[in-house]
C-alpha cells in the first residue's frame, strides 16, 4: 500500500469508494433514507471541488484506491485545521489504513501548523477517532444537526509559518528529496560539506545530523517537499551560554534568487529571540560564499571578525571564515524602525 496526493483523475474512484463505504459501513448506524441522500451529494465533481481548498490524499493497494481523506483550514484560520471525508473501503477496515490516513493528514502542512484539529465524526467513526486522541469538542458528546459528533485534538504547533513558507521537522521519508538537493556540487561545498553520494547517506544525515532541537526543513506553502534547511544550533564554539545560538542554512540551487532563505531565516530569528529566549544569534560564512554573506547582511547581522586557516574537516581543507552577529536588542530596534 502507498499513500499519495489526490489527482483529478482519481475523482470517479474516490466518489465510488465513498458511496460504497456509506452504503455498507455507515448505514449500520444511520437510517437508509438519510444515507441515500448523502450518497447523492458525493459526486466526482464534489470530490474535485473539495480537493481545490483542502490537501487531499488517497491510499492505493496495487493501483486500486482503497481509502481517502482531506485536511484544510478551519474557517480560514491559520492555527486551526479540520479533517474531512475520511473513508476506507469496508474490506480494508481494521488493517491500519485509517490510522495511516489520519497520521499523514496530521503531518501535512495544515496539520503541522495547527494547535487544534477538528473533525466532524460519524457515529460509525467515533470509536476510531477517540482511539487516536480526538475528544468531544468543548465536552459536548451530543450529535449535532448534521448527525455528526464534533471532535477535536489540541497539539503543540510543530512548524513555523511565513507568507510563502513553512518550516517543519525533518523526517526519514525526506531522504530521497534531501539527496536530490544535496547531490548538487554547488550546494554543500560552499557551506563546508561535500555533496551527498546516495540516498542512504542522506537518510543517515536526517537521522543523525538534522534532528537538532531547532533544525527545520524549509518548505513552500502548498507543498510538503523541502527546498532547503535551516537551523539554530545550540552549544557551538561561537556560543558563550545557553541564551546564544548559531544560525546555519542552505538552499537547493533551483530555488536561489527568490528571497526564500532571507524569509525563512527572518522567521527563525524571530522565533529565537521571541519564543526561546536567545540574546545573541551568531552566523558565519566562508570566503567566497557571497550568497550567504548577502543573506546575513539583509537579516541585520553585523560583522565581528575574520579568521584564517579555519579547519573544514568534512572537506579536508582550511579556509578563511567570517563571523557575524545579531543581538536581541539590535533585532528589536530594527523591528521598531520598520
Co-location of 147 and 181 in the same domain: no
Is 261 buried (19+), middle (13-18) or exposed (0-12) by CB count in 10 A?
A: buried
Side-chain half-sphere CA neighbours of 146 within 13 A: 8
Query: At 257, is the secondary structure helix, strand, or coil?
Result: coil
The answer on 40 and 132 residing in a single domain is yes
Q: How far apart are CA 218 and CA 221, in angstroms?
A: 10
Do 48 and 183 belong to one domain?
Answer: no
3-class SS letters over 14-75: HHHHHHHHHHHCHHHCCCHHHHHHHHHHCCHHHHHHHHCCCEEEEEEECCEEEEEEEEEECC
Are residues 305 and 250 part of one domain?
yes
* Same-domain check for residues 278 and 312: yes
Sign of CA dihedral 43, 46, 51, 52: positive
**Tell me, what's the pLDDT at 155?**
86
pLDDT digits (tens, 9 = 90+) for 240-259: 999 999 999 999 999 999 99
Burial class (CB in 10 A: 0-12, 13-18, 19+), 62: exposed
pLDDT (mean) for 181-194: 97
Strand order in the sheet with 302-312: 160-161, 165-168, 215-220, 226-234, 244-251, 280-286, 317-327, 302-312
143 and 166 co-located in one domain: no
Domain boundary among 132, 154, 176: 154
Q: What is the mean pLDDT of the chain?
A: 96
Same domain flag for 216 and 291? yes
Which of these three, 123, 154, 185, is where a domain ends? Answer: 154
Please answer whether residues 323 and 307 qualify as being in contact, where contact means their C-beta atoms are separated by less than 8 angstroms. yes
Per the structure, the complete domain to which residue 234 belongs is given by 160-336
Banded pLDDT at 337 (limits 50, 70, 90):
confident
Q: Are residues 109 and 243 in the same domain?
A: no
Burial of 190 (0-12, 13-18, 19+ CB in 10 A): middle
Residue 286: its pLDDT value, please?
98
Query: Looking at the predicted structure, is the pLDDT value of residue 338 above 80?
Result: no
Per-residue confidence at 157, pLDDT binned at 50, 70, 90? confident
- Judgement on whether residues 39 and 95 belong to the same structural domain of the protein: yes
The per-residue pLDDT for 156 is 80
Percent of residues, the chain, with pLDDT higher than 70: 100
pTM (predicted TM-score): 0.76
Query: Is the same domain home to 119 and 216?
Result: no
pLDDT at 336: 85
Show the cell assigned to 183.
547531490
* pLDDT, tens only, 78-116: 899 999 999 999 999 999 999 999 999 999 999 999 999
Q: What is the number of structural domains in the chain?
A: 2
**In this structure, are 127 and 239 located in the same domain?**
no
- State percent of the chain over pLDDT 90: 96
CATH number, domain of 95, equals 3.40.630.30
Q: What is the DSSP letter of 170?
A: -
- Confidence at 74, pLDDT banded by 50, 70, 90: very high
Longest Cα separation, the chain: 80
Q: What is the pLDDT of residue 308?
A: 97
Contact of 228 with 255, CB cutoff 8 Å: yes
Confidence band of 8 (pLDDT split at 50, 70, 90): very high
Nearest-angstrom CA–CA distance, 291 and 294: 5
> pLDDT tier at 263 (50, 70, 90 boundaries)?
very high
DSSP class of 276: S
Mean pLDDT of 172-194: 97
Is residue 223 predicted with pLDDT exceeding 90?
no
211 and 310 together in one domain: yes
- pLDDT at position 242: 94
Query: Which of 99, 124, 154 is a domain's end point?
Result: 154
**Mean pLDDT throughout 226-232?**
98
Find cell 433514507 and name the residue: 33
Amino acid at each position: 500500500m502507498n499513500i499519495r496526493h489526490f489527482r483529478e483523475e482519481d475523482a470517479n474512484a474516490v466518489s465510488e469508494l465513498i458511496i460504497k463505504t456509506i452504503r455498507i459501513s455507515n448505514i449500520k448506524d444511520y437510517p437508509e433514507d438519510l444515507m441515500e441522500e448523502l450518497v447523492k451529494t458525493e459526486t466526482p465533481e464534489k470530490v474535485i471541488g473539495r480537493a481545490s481548498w483542502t490537501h487531499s490524499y488517497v491510499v492505493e493497494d496495487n493501483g486500486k484506491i482503497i481509502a481517502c481523506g482531506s485536511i484544510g483550514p478551519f474557517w480560514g484560520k491559520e492555527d486551526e485545521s479540520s479533517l474531512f471525508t475520511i473513508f476506507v473501503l469496508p474490506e480494508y477496515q481494521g488493517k491500519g489504513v485509517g490510522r495511516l490516513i489520519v497520521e499523514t493528514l496530521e503531518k501535512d502542512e495544515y496539520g503541522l501548523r495547527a494547535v487544534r484539529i477538528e473533525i466532524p465524526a460519524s457515529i460509525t467513526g467515533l470509536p476510531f477517532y477517540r482511539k487516536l486522541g480526538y475528544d468531544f469538542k468543548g465536552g459536548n458528546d451530543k450529535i449535532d444537526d448534521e448527525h455528526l459528533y464534533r471532535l477535536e485534538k489540541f497539539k503543540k504547533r510543530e512548524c513555523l509559518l511565513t507568507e510563502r513558507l513553512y518550516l517543519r521537522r525533518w523526517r526519514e521519508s525526506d531522504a530521497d528529496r534531501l539527496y536530490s538537493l544535496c547531490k548538487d556540487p554547488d550546494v554543500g561545498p560552499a557551506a563546508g560539506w561535500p555533496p551527498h553520494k546516495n540516498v542512504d547517506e542522506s537518510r543517515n544525515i536526517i537521522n543523525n545530523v538534522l534532528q537538532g532541537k531547532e533544525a527545520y526543513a524549509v518548505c513552500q506553502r502548498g507543498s510538503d517537499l523541502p527546498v532547503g534547511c535551516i537551523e539554530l544550533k545550540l552549544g557551538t564554539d561561537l556560543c558563550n551560554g545557553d541564551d546564544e545560538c548559531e544560525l546555519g542554512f542552505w538552499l537547493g540551487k533551483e530555488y536561489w534568487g527568490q528571497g526564500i532563505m532571507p524569509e525563512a531565516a527572518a522567521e527563525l530569528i524571530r522565533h529565537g529571540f521571541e519564543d526561546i529566549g536567545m540574546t545573541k544569534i551568531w552566523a558565519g560564512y566562508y570566503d567566497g560564499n557571497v550568497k550567504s554573506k548577502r543573506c546575513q547582511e539583509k537579516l541585520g547581522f553585523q560583522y565581528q571578525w575574520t579568521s584564517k586557516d579555519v579547519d573544514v574537516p568534512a572537506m579536508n581543507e582550511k579556509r578563511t571564515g567570517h563571523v557575524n552577529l545579531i543581538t536581541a536588542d539590535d533585532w528589536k530596534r530594527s523591528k521598531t524602525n520598520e
